[in-house]
Chain A
Amino acid sequence: MKKAVVMLLVVALFAAVLGFTPVRAAEGVVVQITIGSTKATINSKAVVLDQPPLIESGRTLVPFRFIGEAIGAQIGWNPGNRTVSYVLGNVNIVLTIGSITAMVNGVKTTLDVAPKILPTGRTVVPIRFISESIGAKVDWNATTRMVTVTVIAKPSWSTPIKIVLSAPFTGSGSILGEYCKDGAQLAVDEINAAGGVNGAKFDLITYDDQANASTAATVVRRALDSDKAVAIFGPNMSAAVLGVHTLAQQAKVPMLVGATSPSLRYDKTQNDYLFRLRADDGVKVAQQVKYIVEILKAKKPGIILGSDDYCTSALAVAKQAFDKYGIKIVDIENMKEGDKDVTAQVTKLKNAGIDVLVGLTHEPEAAVVMLKVRQLKLTVPIVGFSAWGVPAFTDLAGVAAIGVISVQGFNPADTDPTVKKFVDAYKAKWGKEPSDPAQCYYDGVYLLKKAIETAGSTDPVKIDEALKTVEYTGVQGLMKCDALHNFTNICYISKFNGKTWEVISKIP
């Protein structure tokens, strides 16, 4: 009894393995036939036809079995209906002998010439129609009377394009993993529903990198070695990216990140495989200072500063920016991540006579500062860095956040139709409003799709080449890779009214 069960399992296993062989597209096939000649080539290998191709009504007809096998399709012939069928990937073509009506994936199409059975008994079909229906290129050389069919190597629906997202779901600091995943998954699902990328679907695998470099390294290695991803999205935290981007470089697989530290710019990393999907902090701080000086016309800025790299790099850029305007920073007060009592700091800022408070901290510290600012009645305008423009801050600060101005990478209240379409789709699918950086991963997946289509291949090296030149207009406007490998510099200056952020200006 036991032996029989084992035998049954072995047989079932074999059947499963054999039965699931997917119908694959031929890998990079080039077929050449010449009118009137029985000599043809498939990938430069000589083949003899039993029927020479002929031209009728300006269209070239070839033996139906030959072209089917050459392009790698599954051929069907139904003598009852006199139909010829080809199945390749997710393309299904049905032709009827003597009829100019054909069916492609169930859709009726009209042919210029009908397939026919010749007096020799051979069945011939129009080569251009069949080839182009499966996405191949057809070239005609009038001099040599040669037809060249090029089938581009590409994955089919059943062999999806693997992409990996590394995002922080646990760990310290800003936990933005949900936004990253929801943005990317929305794009993947939209693209797959619309037929995928050249007929192949995206398969998105998400991992938690815990916002630290060593876990991110494990994730990236798994993506490269085990999942064989053609592209990696994230990590989202700059510290994690700094620890792993060279892995992508060595493996020659593109890495597209939402991380915003200026130290990830191309001039610092020299990594041809690293790209950034949203405006970096340097750009944002520069805009923040520009607004403070040019619009608010402030002359005596005071800064409340956090202690980690995100804050101190922002300070460096802010100092430079204020310097350029010839404005001296009147007072800088420090706080550490986790500090909850800033009575003394805010007291000192108040006494220093500042006319604007520049917030360069993370979200919880921003909330602590704003509660104290309201308590001690510091009434100057408050202009905060990107962490001051997100729900994680406004939820904690509550009404204390009303009137705060912040530089943001994304504002869901933007009335631009592309932004609105994204926000509505995101809300419909996930039941909540998107927040920075959901939009950059959403754009990123579409950007990758365009790069794959441009490259005509899912070879990561070719995708990388395409990413450097491709242009895509997404939620963040026109995205194009610049010299620093940043795809966009878009940011908003917005003011919180208690419920939403009103856009004051959108740059560019």
Chain B
Amino acid sequence: MVLSDLLQNIIGGVTVGATYGLIGLGVVFLWQSIQRINFANISSAMLAAYLFYTFYAQLHLGFLVSFVVSIAIIAAYGLALRYLVLEPINRHGGDKLEFVVATLMLCIFWLSVVKVIYGGIAKPFPPVFGEATSFVQIGSISIPSVYFWIFFVVLVLVFALHMLLQRTMIGKMFRATAQNKEMASLVGINVDMTTSLAFMLATSIVGIAGILLAPIYFVSLDLGGGPIGIKGFAAAVMGGLVDPLGTIAGGITIGLVENFSTLFISSAYKDVISFVVLVVVLIWKPRGIFNWTTKGD
């Protein structure tokens, strides 16, 4: 095993892991806002990718238009999620379990809808982030151009979110609501608005992650469920379900663990090892790997 092999795997693991982190952010935002787990979290990724594919590759609308419209639709979907799923459940006295079941079914529903409209075969993502076979060569390390995009977007997004949460009024309202909803509304914060914002942010971020992942995952049903959804959830858990930075770090950890376990142990046990690592982290640092909680469990 040469150093370049190691570096190559680190780069792969970190990049893909960062996208797991983005997906985890969707879980975190919603948990922060409504204390519920959205099991259809990953569906936003798949829907965004398919929407972008439709606008760009089928309707030829240009990259910017396709991207903006796709994410706008996904943000609207977030709102719809709140008013058509969460609110009715709350109104009828439903609680955590009902929301879990409803979103689980929603996840399966979206998979079926996409399958019926687009078919079950994966489609290649248009080369907007460079050709799938265009690599940047640094010495003996070869990095696909899409990786640079992923690095860049994740960095920008995380930075922007950090700025939003820490430096803006809205961010402050957000954090206040997350800490204590009753108190926040008592001091005049529009909890209704922050909740809607949380939903829209959650689905949009995951939607962006979906478009970033589509060159690697292809425009396929794989983007909408199963392993990748679980990895996103695991990343969120590693962040204690509350810490965005911890979530990204958690996703990167998962990406690295997958690569190293295959490299040094065996490709057959990759998933088992990832699972074991997740459990170990949970036991060791139940409040998130950075141990940074802004509220009680």
CB nearest to A372 among chain B residues: B12
**Chain B hits for A19, CB < 8 A:** none
Whether B217 and A340, one on each chain, are in contact in the complex, defined by CB atoms closer than 8 angstroms, is yes
Whether B135 and A375, one on each chain, are in contact in the complex, defined by CB atoms closer than 8 angstroms, is yes
Whether, in the assembled complex, B88 has its beta carbon less than 8 Å from a beta carbon of chain A, the answer is no
Q: How far is the CA of A340 from the CA of B125 in the complex (A)?
A: 14
Given A175-B120, A375-B142, A343 and B12 touching (CB < 8 A)? Answer: yes
Whether A376 and B8, one on each chain, are in contact in the complex, defined by CB atoms closer than 8 angstroms, is yes
Whether B1 and A351, one on each chain, are in contact in the complex, defined by CB atoms closer than 8 angstroms, is yes
Whether, in the assembled complex, A338 has its beta carbon less than 8 Å from a beta carbon of chain B, the answer is yes
Whether, in the assembled complex, A286 has its beta carbon less than 8 Å from a beta carbon of chain B, the answer is no
Whether, in the assembled complex, A138 has its beta carbon less than 8 Å from a beta carbon of chain B, the answer is no
Q: What total of chain A residues lie within 8 Å of the partner, measured CB to CB?
A: 35
Whether, in the assembled complex, A70 has its beta carbon less than 8 Å from a beta carbon of chain B, the answer is no
Given A399-B131, A400-B133, A351 and B222 touching (CB < 8 A)? Answer: no
**Chain B hits for A377, CB < 8 A:** 142
Whether, in the assembled complex, A320 has its beta carbon less than 8 Å from a beta carbon of chain B, the answer is no
Whether B226 and A338, one on each chain, are in contact in the complex, defined by CB atoms closer than 8 angstroms, is yes
Whether, in the assembled complex, A328 has its beta carbon less than 8 Å from a beta carbon of chain B, the answer is no
Q: How far is the CA of A334 from the CA of B216 in the complex (A)?
A: 18
Given A170-B116, A377-B142, A341 and B12 touching (CB < 8 A)? Answer: yes
Whether A364 and B222, one on each chain, are in contact in the complex, defined by CB atoms closer than 8 angstroms, is yes
Q: What 0/1 pattern do residues 344 to 362 of A give for CB contact below 8 A with B?
A: 1101100100000000000
Whether B263 and A347, one on each chain, are in contact in the complex, defined by CB atoms closer than 8 angstroms, is yes
**Chain A hits for B158, CB < 8 A:** none
Whether B218 and A170, one on each chain, are in contact in the complex, defined by CB atoms closer than 8 angstroms, is no
**Chain A hits for B32, CB < 8 A:** none
CB nearest to B116 among chain A residues: A170
**Chain B hits for A81, CB < 8 A:** none
Q: What 0/1 pattern do residues 250 to 268 of A give for CB contact below 8 A with B?
A: 0000000000000000000
Whether, in the assembled complex, B186 has its beta carbon less than 8 Å from a beta carbon of chain A, the answer is no
Whether, in the assembled complex, A98 has its beta carbon less than 8 Å from a beta carbon of chain B, the answer is no
Q: What 0/1 pattern do residues 103 to 128 of B give for CB contact below 8 A with A?
A: 00000000000011001111110000
> What are 14 residue pairs bridging A and B, where the CB atoms are less than 8 Å apart in the complex?
A170-B115, A171-B120, A174-B121, A175-B119, A333-B267, A340-B222, A344-B12, A347-B9, A348-B267, A374-B135, A375-B144, A396-B124, A396-B218, A400-B133
Q: Which residues of B are in contact with A by a Cβ distance under 8 Å?
A: 1, 5, 8-9, 12-13, 16, 115-116, 119-124, 131-133, 135, 142, 144, 216-218, 220, 222, 226-227, 255, 258-260, 262-263, 266-268, 270-271
Top 7 nearest A-B pairs (CB, nearest first) are A344-B262, A343-B12, A334-B267, A344-B263, A334-B268, A175-B120, A333-B267
